[in-house]
A = this chain, B = another copy of it.
C-alpha cells in the first residue's frame, strides 16, 4: 500500500493547539459580543438536501462550488456551503411557536469547492448572526452595531475599516426604473457592479455597454457615471433621491451617527452576492490599501423563510468568516499570541510523582488547570516541554517540597520565581488569569 499522507485535505486546515488557540480567540470574541446583545446559539446538521441551496443561494455556488453527492439512501445531499438556508428552514419549521424577536447565532464549518487562495479556503468557519421577526430599521441597526462592536472588540479602530451600506430595494429601482433594464439585463448589471473594483474603468465601461441595447446605450453610460459619482446620498440622481428606499437609508445613518458610528458610508455600487437580500445590505470593508477588500457583510432578507411554504418572517443577518478576519487581524497587527489554556505545568523531581498527582488534584479542585509531567524525564526536558506548550507557570515538585509544603512557582513570561504555599499558588495563578481576561475584555 502507498504510504498514507500526513497532510490535511487540500484547501482545509489542521489546527494544532497553537492554531486552535487563535481560532478560539476569534470564536470567543464573536461569542462575547453577540451574547452581550442577547443572541443565543443554535446548530444544525452538516448535510442538507442539495435543493435547499438550488432554491436561493445563487447558481454559481450550487453548480460549481458545492460539495455534493448521493448518499446510500439515494438522496442528493450537499455539505453546507452557507448557513442561511438552514436557519431559514429551522425558523420555517417552528414559525408559529418561536418567541420573537428571535436572536440567533451559530459558528458552523462551511465547505466550498474553490481554488484555495488568500482569504478563501475550502473549509472555513463562519459566525452567522440573525434576528427574526422585526420589520423596522432598528433590527438593521442592531446587526450593524454588532458588526461594529465585533471589530472594536478585536482591537480595530474606526480608520481600519468602513461599513458600506446600500439597499437592494434601491438597486432594483435603479436597475428597472432609472437605467430601464429588463430582468436579465439587471442581473448582468448587478454582477458587473459587484466586480467594479476588480476591473479597470475601461473594462467596466465596455462591459456595461455590452449589457445595454442600442437605445439605452445613448444615455446609459452617463446615468451610470452619475450613480458612481454620487459619494453621498444627496448627490444621487433626483429620481432615486425621492424614493422611500433612500429615506430608509437616511434614517439608518441618523441612528448610526447617534450611536457613535462614524465610519459607515453609503455606496451605491455595493451589491452583495446572494440573491436573497430584499432591502438594506451592508459590508465591512478593510480600508488598508494593501488589503482593500470586503471582510464580511449581510443585510435584510425578508423572503427566505417563506420558501418553505409558510408566511414570511422579516429577517436581518450577517456572516463573518474566520479566515478573512484572521487575515485582517494579522494585516493590522491585532492578533494576540494566546498562551496555553493550561495554567501550570508541574515539573516532577525524583520519586515525587504520587505526591505531585495528589497536589495536582487539590489544585484542580480550586479551579486551576494543571498538566503533570508523568514521564520521569530529566528536569531540563520537562522544562522544555512546558516552554514549548506556552504554559504561563511552572511548579517544581520534589519530595522535599512535598514535605515542606512549599513549592517554587515560576512565572515563565517574567522569568520570576517564588517559593509559595498552596493558597498563594492558587491566588497567584487566578490573579494572573483574571488580569489576562480583563485585558482582553472577554
Instruction: Show the binding face of A for B, using Cβ within 8 Å.
Output: 1, 3-10, 12-17, 19-21, 23-24, 35-49, 51-52, 55, 67, 69-73, 75, 77, 79, 89-90, 92-94, 99-101, 103-104, 109, 111, 113, 123, 133-134, 136, 138-139, 142, 258-259, 307-309, 340-342, 345, 353-354, 357, 364, 367-376, 384-386, 388-389, 391
Contacts and interface: CB of A to CB of B under 8 A. Distances in A.
A279 B40 CA distance: 44
A72 B369 contact: no
Given A4-B51, A13-B45, A38-B345, A134 B374 contact: yes
A315 B354 CA distance: 21
Contact of A9 (B4, B45, B69): B45
Contacts of A139: 374
Contacts of A37: 364, 369-371
B138 A374 contact: yes
Which residue, of A38, A71, A384, has the highest number of chain B Cβ atoms within 10 A? A38
A36 B369 CA distance: 4
Copies of this protein in the assembly total 2
A111 B41 contact: no
A40 B340 contact: yes
Nearest to A307: B4
A343 to B, nearest CB: 8
A434 to B, nearest CB: 13
A72 B65 CA distance: 9
Given A40-B17, A45-B12, A342-B38, A309 B104 contact: no
Given A46-B79, A101-B371, 19 more contacts: A4-B49, A4-B51, A4-B52, A5-B89, A8-B45, A9-B49, A14-B90, A17-B41, A19-B42, A37-B364, A38-B342, A38-B345, A39-B371, A40-B341, A47-B67, A67-B69, A67-B71, A100-B385, A258-B354
Given A72-B113, A99-B389, A341 B35 contact: yes
Contacts of A340: 40
Given A6-B308, A370-B37, A42 B16 contact: yes
Contacts of A99: 384-386, 388-389
Contacts of A133: 375
Contacts of A23: 43
13 contacts: A3-B308, A4-B51, A6-B92, A6-B308, A9-B77, A14-B43, A15-B41, A17-B41, A21-B41, A23-B43, A36-B364, A46-B109, A134-B375
Contacts of A9: 45, 47-49, 75, 77
Contacts of A72: 113
Nearest to A33: B364
Nearest to A4: B308
B6 A93 contact: yes
A92 B309 CA distance: 51
Contacts of A104: 17
A1 B33 CA distance: 40
Given A14-B90, A71-B67, A46 B123 contact: yes
A15 B44 contact: yes
Nearest to A72: B113
Contacts of A4: 49, 51-52, 55, 89, 307-309
5 smallest CB-CB distances across A and B, nearest first, come from A38-B371, A69-B69, A12-B45, A6-B93, A99-B388
A8 B80 CA distance: 12
Contacts of A113: 71-72
B49 A20 contact: no
Contacts of A13: 44-45
A16 B342 contact: no
Given A46-B109, A46-B111, A136 B92 contact: no
Contacts of A369: 35-38
